[in-house]
Amino acid sequence: MTTAINLIQALLLILGAPLVGGIIGKIKAWMQRRQGASIWRPYFEIAKLFRKGDLVPPSASWVFHFAPKVLFGTSVCAVAFVPVLQPSALLAFRGDFFLFVYLLALGRFFLSLGALDGGSAFGGMGASRDALVSTLAEAPFLLGLAAVSILAVHADIAGMVTWTLQQDVLKISAVHILAFTSLAMVVLAETGRMPVDNPTTHLELTMIHEGMVLEYSGPSLALVEWASAIKLHVMLALLISLFGPWGMASTVSLWGLGTAVLLYLAKVAVLAILLALVESVVAKLRMYLVPDFLGVAAAVSALAVIFTTLVKR
């Protein structure tokens, strides 16, 4: 039964991912006083792309075909580690948060390779920028997760969530606030959201992620788009399960699961609104200020690790 629920929550993360992007787009449209596209639009778009043919640049090698599949595969694997409805996950073992971070990094690496292999100037530019951002985001990502893991004395994400569930909501420690701040900044950088990268732009000077996927079309593009949607969803789910898991079903029952699903949807909606709000009011950083942004995230996460020594057990 537990395994079945684990499977359901992984499927929820994968299949619900485009919806999160659609909701964010809708809220942003409302804020700009537009009507906006339907929240189901990302699904139609992915379905449409799957029906189209794959256009491949003549200079591209097998890496170009291979990269989107690796990206999608690693994103789906990463989903298996994140608890959503109950404090357990499909895969959990000691130190799995390292694997989680590096699965996402592997996907990014292959996407960069594919972009370089496409042979266009924008692909190379996007890939080099993405390499910079992801290298700088790696340290705060790992340190932020490590701080929570030290606090929880568990080295797997599911264990950390189990520990957090037993804590008092009112007893927020400095470590949690610092780790949350740094991980929230990392989420913005890793998923290519506003202060770091504008997900809606095709302006050559500023694009990072869009520059990399410019040469892709058809089913490959569908895989890339879906994988980045999954990445956004899984990062939001990670934030929720690490810093606000209260409401998860601790025992398997229909009532508990129902409330868990509803609460999870509410939390994702809150995060989506926050993200849309940030994207509507914050201007994109100049490329040269992105290292500063991530430097602050790294400093905050290092502080979080140092602060774990202060917390009384």
Chain positions contacting another protein, by CB under 8 A: 168, 170-174, 177-178, 181, 292, 295-296, 298-300, 302-303, 306-307, 310
- Residue with Cβ nearer another protein (135 or 253): 135
Whole-number Å distance between alpha carbons of 52 and 293: 39
CB closer to another protein, 51 vs 313: 313
Positive or negative torsion for Cα 132, 61, 203, 278: negative
Name the minimum Å distance from CB 142 to another protein: 17
C-alpha closest to that of 208 among 140, 114, 112: 112
How near is the Cβ of 170 to another protein at its closest, in Å? Answer: 4
Quick one: 1 or 170, whose CB is closer to another protein?
Answer: 170
Q: Considering beta carbons, is residue 129 or 176 the nearer one to another protein?
A: 176
**With respect to another protein, which residue has the nearer C-beta, 216 or 307?**
307
Q: How far is the CB of 294 from another protein (least distance, A)?
A: 9
CB of 181 to another protein, least distance (A): 7
Contact, 297 vs 134, CB < 8 A? no
Instruction: Give the residue with the Cβ less far from another protein, 270 or 306.
Output: 306
Closest separation in Å from C-beta 247 to another protein: 19
How many Cβ atoms are within 10 Å of 142's Cβ, its own excluded? 19
Phi and psi, residue 52, nearest 5°: -85, 165
Q: Closest approach of Cβ 187 to another protein, in Å?
A: 17
Helix axes 96-118, 218-243, angle to 10 degrees: 150
| Nearer of residues 1 and 283 to another protein, judged by Cβ | 283
Q: Determine the Cα–Cα distance for residues 129 and 209; give it in Å rounded to an integer.
A: 9
What is the smallest separation between the CB atom of 174 and another protein, expressed in angstroms? 5
What six digits make up the tokens of 142? Answer: 């790992």
Contacts 24+ apart (CB under 8 A), 15-22: 16/233, 17/226, 17/229, 17/230, 17/232, 17/233, 17/234, 18/42, 18/43, 18/46, 18/226, 18/229, 19/43, 20/229, 20/232, 20/233, 20/236, 20/268, 20/272, 21/229, 21/232
Supply the Cα-derived Rg of the chain in whole angstroms. Answer: 19
CA atoms in the 13 A half-sphere facing the CB of 141: 23
